[in-house]
Amino acid sequence: MTSPILKTLLPPLVFTAAHALATLLAAPAPMVWTLLAAMLLAWVHASWRLQRQERRKLDALLRQKPRDEAWLAEQHRLLAGICDSAREEAQSVLGEVDRVRVLIRDAVGQLQQSFEAMNRQSREQSATVARIVTRQDAAADEGVNVHGFVSRAGTLMSGLVDSLAQVSAQSTASVGQIDAMVQHMDAIFELLNDVKSIADQTNLLALNAAIEAARAGEAGRGFAVVAEEIRNLSQRSNTFNEQIRGLVGSSREAVAAVRATVSEMASRDLSLSRTAQQEMSGVLGQVEALNSSMESGMRELSSSGQRIADAVGEAVRCLQFEDISTQALSAAVSHIDRVQAMALEAENLHRLMAESPATDDEQRRSEVDRWHRQAEDRIRQWRAVPHKAVLQASMDSGSVDLF
């Protein structure tokens, strides 16, 4: 290898060795990408310089040997083919580098969005949990919790039991008053028997008075006695009537007391029942509201967890950019190998042209012709489209590429 070509290829070789060393030593990603970009640019620049040198030498050879223009034209054509292939490979390298850069930018952007979404959903989930805890604390302050519900239900049940005990006591008192009323009524019946007896005696005395009056005629002394007895019986009847009136009044008062007691019991039972029903309805409504709040919070937590899972899945998908970038860089390395092979062929052409100053040297012409055939085969191989495992140029979800 001549000194100008060595000087031309030295920078890209140095950058290639530095990139390989950085990759083996697991250097930071920015340093690796910087060395890769510098290596690619160095190879492109070296290819361009080699092309320019070969063109200059070819032009000089054309000026020095006007008799062999056809041979030099063939040399020029092959060299132009090598230059075109090198240019295409350089464009491919730049395309792969641009694709990797777009992939990395797209993947990093989507990763940032995914992590921001996860962070946002985590904050929303924390806020939902805090809101549920706050509602529970507020409900606890208001006495709306399971323990409070049980305590208040027990209090209500105790009140109902006390009310039933009072009802039982008042019912017993009512039975006693009714018994007293029955006794009073029995006494009334006894007095009525006496009244009947008095009435019978009065009738008998009246009959005797009539008989005596008939016997005496105008004298009427017996009638006077009978009249006196009748007056006494009348007084006793009045006394009995007053006693009967008093007993009947007592009976009326006892019945009125029983009625008042029963009415008070019914009214108090109805009031207690309505109050207990209202309080129980209120407690159940508060418990239902607490349950609804808990259910809503659980649904929010479930939805937030699903969104976090989706964001994590998106982040995992974006992490595939490493595999895609690796394959793209492998394709770039393949293009660089082609550029190196082109540089070697250009160097061989330069050497043959430098060693073949005359057209009558059959041996050298034979070597040049053999190189022509090899170069044409190489050019056809170079112009073949290289296999690329992945053609994706962004991190958007798409179809599956089979290897």
Identity of residue 227: A
Q: List CB contacts of 82: < 8 A, sequence separation 6 or more.
A: 51, 342, 345, 346, 349, 375, 379
Q: How many CB atoms neighbour CB 23 within 10 A?
A: 13
Q: Where are the domains of the chain?
A: 3-139+320-383, 167-313
SS3 for 72-134 is HHHHHHHHHHHHHHHHHHHHHHHHHHHHHHHHHHHHHHHHHHHHHHHHHHHHHHHHHHHHHHH
Q: Report which of 16, 36, 20 is spatially closest to residue 101, judged by C-alpha positions.
A: 36
Tens-of-pLDDT digits for all 403 residues of the chain? 456 667 777 777 887 888 778 777 777 777 878 878 888 888 888 778 877 777 777 666 556 555 455 665 666 666 666 666 666 766 776 666 777 677 777 766 776 677 777 767 777 777 776 776 676 666 555 555 555 555 666 676 666 656 655 665 666 666 567 667 667 766 776 776 676 677 667 767 766 766 776 677 666 666 666 666 776 776 677 677 677 767 766 776 776 677 677 667 656 665 666 676 677 667 667 767 766 777 776 677 667 767 776 776 776 666 666 666 667 677 667 767 766 666 676 666 666 666 544 444 566 666 666 766 766 676 666 566 554 544 454 545 544 343 3
Tell me the two tokens of residue 97. 């580098």
Instruction: Give the predicted TM-score (pTM) of the model.
Output: 0.34
